[in-house]
Amino acid sequence: MAVKPEEFNFAKNDQFNTAMIPGKFARAMRTCKIWQFIRFVIINIKMIIVVSKSH
Amino acid sequence: MARLIVLGGGVAGHTAATFAADWLGREHEVVVVTPNSKWNWIPSNIWVGVGEMSKEEVTFDLAPVYEKAGITYKQAKAVSINPEGSASNDKPFVTFEYTGQGKAGQSEEMTYDYLINATGPKLNFGATPGLGDANGLGEFTVSVCTADHAEHAAHELEKIMDKMRKGERQKILIGTGHGMCTCQGAAFEYIFNVEHEIRKAGLRDMADIQWISNEAFMGDFGMGGLHMKVGGYVVSSRIFTESLFAERGVNYITGAHVNKVEKGKVSYELLDGSTGEESFDFSMLIPPFAGVGLKAYNKAGEDITDTVFAPNGFMKVDADYTPKPYAEWKASDWPRTYQNPTFKNLFAAGIAFAPPHIISKPMKSPNGTVINPTPPRTGMPSGIMGKAVAHSVCDLIKKGPDAHLHEASMAEMGAACVASAGKGWLDGQAAAMTVYPVVPDYEKYPGTGRDTDYTFGEIGLAGHWIKHILHYLFIYKAKLKPFWKVIPE
C-alpha cells in the first residue's frame, strides 16, 4: 500500500518521527478560503484584545 | 523651548519622534539623528529576500515625512553623549557624524534637554569569524537584516534555484550565526519562505534544507518558549514548531554556536560540547546584536561609558541589573519607564535598552561556551516602548520634572507576532501568534508564566493575510498619513 503523502516525512529521520504532522484535512483547512476568512476575523479579534491590554 | 533628540529612526525611534512632535507641537523642537535616509519595514525584508517584494516596497524616504511632521532630521550617526555638558557649557549635548545630506563625514554637536536612545542594534557580523567583520556582512553567507542585504539574498537564491533547474542538488542552511543571537523569528520566516518558493517552482526535491539555531529547543524564540492553547490543549511552542519543520521536511540542529564560517561550510559547537560541520550552497545566518558603540563623557571629558551603558553597549535603564541565578529571576527585574538611573533626561527604547538578563534559561556547553538566545525586543514591544517614553518626555517638558512617567514593562505587555511561512494571497501561510506577557511572570501565572487565555497560535492562510495587511498598515502609519495615530503599535 502506498504511503499517504502526509505520512511520508515520518520515516525520514527520528526528529520527524516523533513530531505531530498535520493530515490531509488539517492541511486543506489551512488554505480553505471560507474557513480562513472566519479564522482571520477570530485571530484579529484576539490580537486586538492583546494589543489593547498592552497599551 | 525644549529640545528632544531621538537617536535612531527605526520602529522605536520613529514612533517616539513622531508622537513627541505631535504632542509637543511647534513650541518645542524634536530632532531625529539616524544614519539612514530611508525607513525600512524590516518584517517584510524576508519577502525581499525571496524576490517576492522589491526593496522600494519596504522602504521610503524619511526626509519628507519628517518635514511634514516638523521634525528636524539629521542624517547622521551618533558618536557620543555628554550628559553633563562640557567644561565650557553646562548643557548636555550629543556628538554625531553626518552620513548624508551633503555633509558626509562632518561632525556636529547638538545640545538637548531630553534624549531618547533608540539606536537599535549593531549587526555584529564580526563576532563570528567568516560571518563578516567590522564593516558588515561577509562574502560566504547572506542576510535579511536590511533591505539591501535582503535584495542581495534574493539574487543569490535565484542563482541556486537556476542550478536546481539544471539538475544540481543544492544544500540550504538558514538560522543563527552565533551562540548569542536573537531574532530567530526572522530566520524562521526566511527558511519557510525559501522552502515555499522552491516548492512553488517545482524544485523541492532538488533542495536539502537545514535549520541551525542557538535555541536550546525548537520554538524557544528567545522567550524561553511559550505555551499556547491549540485545539483544546495547552501546547508547548516546541510541539508547534517541530510539527511545521517535520511537515515541510526541514531538518534542524538546536543548541548550536556557529564559531566559524568558510566558503560552503560552517563549524559549530553544541550544548553537549560536541562539535560539527555543516556544508551549504546557500546560507542565511542572523548575526548577533550589540549596542552601536556610543560613548559617554562627563563634564571633564572623562569616559563614563560604563556608567551610562552596559558592557554589551546597550543603555542602562530602570531595570534590576543585580546578577542573580535563573531561579531568582522575576518579572519585576524588567524596566518600566526606560529612564537612565544616573541621568534622568536620558531614556532608551527598543533594542537600545539593556535587558536585566535573558528570558530563556541560561545555557553553557561543558567547554564554557554560552549558547542561549538573547531577548527579542523588536516589533510591537519596541513601538509601545517608544510611545511610552515619548509620552514621559512630553509630560516632563509640559508638566515639569515631577510629572508621572509612563510605563511599558515587557513583563506586563503582550505581543502579536505573525511569522510568514510562505507568501501568496491564495496559497500563503503564516503562524499567527500572541504572547501575553512577553516576559513570563511565574508569580502571576504560576503554570506557564503566561496567561494562556491570551497566548495562542495557529498557522494558515489567514495569518498570511494579516501579515500582508500589516505591511501596508504600518508603512501607512509610519508615513503619517491621515488617522495614523489610531493604528496601534
Task: Give per-residue pLDDT as tens, B56-65.
Answer: 999 999 999 9
Say whether pLDDT at A2 is over 80. no
pLDDT of residue A5: 78
Helix, strand, or coil here: B432? strand
Do the chains contact at B247 and A21, CB–CB below 8 Å? yes
Chain B interface test: which of A13, A21, A54 (most B C-beta within 10 Å) = A54
Chain A CB contacts of B242 under 8 Å are 15, 18-20
| pLDDT one-digit tens code per residue, B284-329 | 999 999 989 999 999 999 999 999 999 999 999 999 999 999 999 9
Confidence of residue B231 (pLDDT cuts 50, 70, 90): confident
Quote the CA–CA distance of B311 and B339 in Å, as a whole number.
Answer: 18
Range of the domain at A35: 5-54
Backbone phi, psi, residue B248, to 5° = -90, 0
Q: How would DSSP label each residue in B229-267?
A: EETTEEEEHHHHHHHHHHHHT-EEE-SEEEEEEETTEEE
Q: Tell me the C-alpha to C-alpha distance, in Å, between residue B453 and each of A47, B26, B196, B237, B447.
A: 12, 44, 31, 15, 13
Helix, strand, or coil here: A16? helix
Q: Tell me the C-alpha to C-alpha distance, in Å, between residue A42 and each of A38, A45, B35, B230, B431.
A: 6, 5, 40, 14, 14
For chains A and B, CB pairs below 8 A equal 97
Number of folded domains in chain A?
Answer: 1
Chain B CB contacts of A14 under 8 Å are none
| pLDDT one-digit tens code per residue, A7-41 | 888 888 888 999 999 999 999 999 999 999 999 99
| pLDDT one-digit tens code per residue, B454-485 | 999 999 999 999 999 999 999 999 999 999 99
Q: How would DSSP label each residue in B56-97?
A: HHHEEEHHHHHHHHT-EEEEEEEEEEETT-BTTB-S-EEEEE
pLDDT of residue A7: 84
CB-nearest to B436 from A21, A29, A50 is A50
Average pLDDT for residues B12-20, to the nearest whole number? 97
Quote the CA–CA distance of A11 and A22 in Å, as a whole number.
Answer: 15
- Three cell numbers at B407? 510605563
Kindly report the nearest CA distance between residue B408 and chain A, in angstroms. Answer: 8
Angle B82-B1-B100 (CA atoms, 0-180°, nearest 5)? 55
Confidence of residue B379 (pLDDT cuts 50, 70, 90): confident
Say whether pLDDT at A54 is over 90. no
Q: Given the C-alpha cell 541621568, which residue does it identify?
A: B343
Say whether pLDDT at B349 is over 90. yes
Cβ–Cβ under 8 Å, residues B28 and B4: yes
CB-nearest to B416 from A9, A40, A47 is A47
CB-nearest to A9 from B249, B387, B434 is B249
pLDDT of residue B376: 86
Cβ–Cβ under 8 Å, residues B76 and B96: yes
Cβ–Cβ under 8 Å, residues B117 and B8: yes
Confidence of residue B41 (pLDDT cuts 50, 70, 90): very high
DSSP 8-state secondary structure symbol assigned to residue B484: G
Chain A CB contacts of B460 under 8 Å are 29-31, 36, 39
Instruction: Spell out the domain ranges in chain B.
Output: 3-123+291-365+374-399
Backbone phi, psi, residue B234, to 5° = -95, 115
Q: What is the mean pLDDT of chain B?
A: 95
Quote the CA–CA distance of B42 and B304 in Å, as a whole number.
Answer: 33
Residues whose CB falls within 8 Å of the CB of residue B368, separated by 6 or more in sequence, listed in order: none
ipTM: 0.94
- Strands B3-7 and B114-117, by their bridges, are parallel
Distance of CA B299 to the CA centre of its chain: 33
**Amino acid identity, position B19:** F
CB-nearest to A54 from B239, B384, B458 is B384
CATH number of B3-123+291-365+374-399: 3.50.50.100
Cβ–Cβ under 8 Å, residues B314 and B121: no
Quote the CA–CA distance of B212 and B280 in Å, as a whole number.
Answer: 12
Quote the CA–CA distance of B475 and B479 in Å, as a whole number.
Answer: 6
Chain B CB contacts of A50 under 8 Å are 414-416, 434, 436, 454
Quote the CA–CA distance of A19 and B243 in Å, as a whole number.
Answer: 5
Helix, strand, or coil here: B114? strand
The reply to whether omega before B121 is within 30° of 0 (cis) is no
Beta bridge partners of B275: B269
Say whether pLDDT at B230 is over 90. no
pLDDT of residue B42: 94
Helix, strand, or coil here: B281? coil
Angle B267-B271-B273 (CA atoms, 0-180°, nearest 5)? 70
Q: Tell me the C-alpha to C-alpha distance, in Å, between residue B380 and each of B60, B77, B364, B392, B487.
A: 20, 25, 30, 18, 12
| pLDDT one-digit tens code per residue, B167-200 | 999 999 999 999 999 889 999 999 999 999 999 9
Closest CA to B445 of B134, B181, B224, B245: B224
- Three cell numbers at B309? 551603558
Cβ–Cβ under 8 Å, residues B291 and B314: yes
